[in-house]
Amino acid sequence: MANLKEIRSRITSVGSTMQITSAMKMVSAAKLKRAQDAITQMRPYANKLTELLGSLSSSLDTDDGGIYSSQREVNNVLLVTITSNRGLCGGFNAYIIKSATTLINDKYANAKVDILSIGKKSSEHFRKNAFNVASSHDDIFNELTFENISKIAEEIMEQFASGKYDKVLLVYNQFKNAATQIIMNESYLPIQTVNIDDHQIGDYLFEPGKKDIVDELIPKSLKTQLFKAVLDSHAAEHGARMTAMHKATDNAGELKKDLTLTYNKARQAAITAEILEIVGGAEALNG
């Protein structure tokens, strides 16, 4: 059994760790509220815009679909992986890295795959493991704005339009609640149209015309879709970290309780041994 000094040292260490994890949990909870409000407000607009664009695109002739709807043989793929810059958030980053790796090795094994990384954890992992990281945007979370995300979206759109990539996918965690994140492998380009009849859109007059409206909406919709994915991941990260720190705090509390019990037993055993020695010595003197 460890001596009393060692046990006291471990109790102090665990207590300090518990204070840190508890503080991190509170910080993540505060950040989660803001991030959750942002994605909750953004998601209905982004979904409706995507739905509208898909409906309008489906009613156009194939030749009028635009460069961003171009269906090509998939030889070159760009994976946009969205992770965090920091750890201590459970399996949040590991799940994205694993999902992207599976896509590269299985679904797109016969294609050339590049990675556009958003978040240090994915860029560090894929560079370390000799994957082709075309570009990384690790500082985007320092100032998470629509304007900054739009620059990344424009870069991706330009590369797709030039024919550098035949398909672009987003791999990220979608926020459901503080304890649950959903891994998304979402098609970004080419734009997926919805197979519906013209009358299902409604009896509307389009001015100046459907194609002009679609051409105007496509860049805006793609920027919004990427912004929504980053906001989703941002909220999911804080939720995952809050949950991880909550569990860590609970585990530290249990460990501290067990160590305190062990310490009390060892102290009691030491006191009992001292009493026995005193009694034994007194009897020896009396004898």
Each residue's pLDDT expressed in tens, for the chain with a length of 287 residues:
568 889 999 999 999 999 999 999 999 999 999 999 999 999 999 888 877 777 666 666 544 456 888 888 999 999 999 999 999 999 999 999 999 999 999 999 999 999 999 999 999 999 999 999 999 999 999 899 999 999 999 999 999 999 999 999 999 999 999 889 999 999 999 887 665 554 455 556 667 777 777 778 888 999 999 999 999 999 999 999 999 999 999 999 999 999 999 999 988 888 888 888 888 877 777 76
Q: Are 173 and 96 in contact (CB under 8 A)?
A: yes
128, 35 contact by CB (below 8 A): no
Distance CA(37)–CA(234), nearest Å, equals 11
Spell out a b/e string for 173-202, using b for 16 or more CB atoms within 10 Å of the CB, else e.
bbbeebeebeebebebbbbebbeeeeeebe
C-alpha to C-alpha distance for 172 and 90, rounded to whole angstroms: 15
Residue 268's CB: how many other CB atoms inside 10 A?
A: 10
CB atoms < 10 A from the CB of 81, how many? 29
Beta pairing class for 180-189 and 112-118: unpaired
State the Cα–Cα distance between residues 259 and 281, nearest whole angstrom.
33
Query: What's residue 62's pLDDT?
Result: 46
Q: Specify whether 89 is catalytic.
A: yes
The rounded distance, in Å, linking the Cα atoms of 214 and 226 is: 18
Directed axis angle between helix 92-102 and helix 210-286, to 10°?
130
Quote the CA–CA distance of 205 and 100 in Å, as a whole number. 43
Residues 6+ apart with CB under 8 A from 70: 190
Superfamily of domain 21-244: ATP synthase, F1 complex, gamma subunit (3.40.1380.10)
Q: How far apart are CA 287 and CA 282, in angstroms?
A: 9
Q: In Å, what is the CA distance from 132 to each residue of 67, 128, 136, 170?
A: 26, 10, 11, 16
Decide if 62 contacts 143 (C-beta within 8 A).
Answer: no
| Residue 203, φ and ψ in degrees, nearest 5 | -90, 85
Residue entry with tokens 């204070």 = 19
Give the pLDDT score at 37.
92
State residue 202's pLDDT score: 54
How many whole angstroms separate alpha carbon 102 and alpha carbon 120? 20
What type of residue is 262? T
Q: Where are the domains of the chain?
A: 21-244
Helix, strand, or coil here: 117? strand
CA dist 207 → 34, 147, 231 (Å) = 39, 28, 33
Q: Which of 14, 89, 118, 214 is catalytic?
A: 89
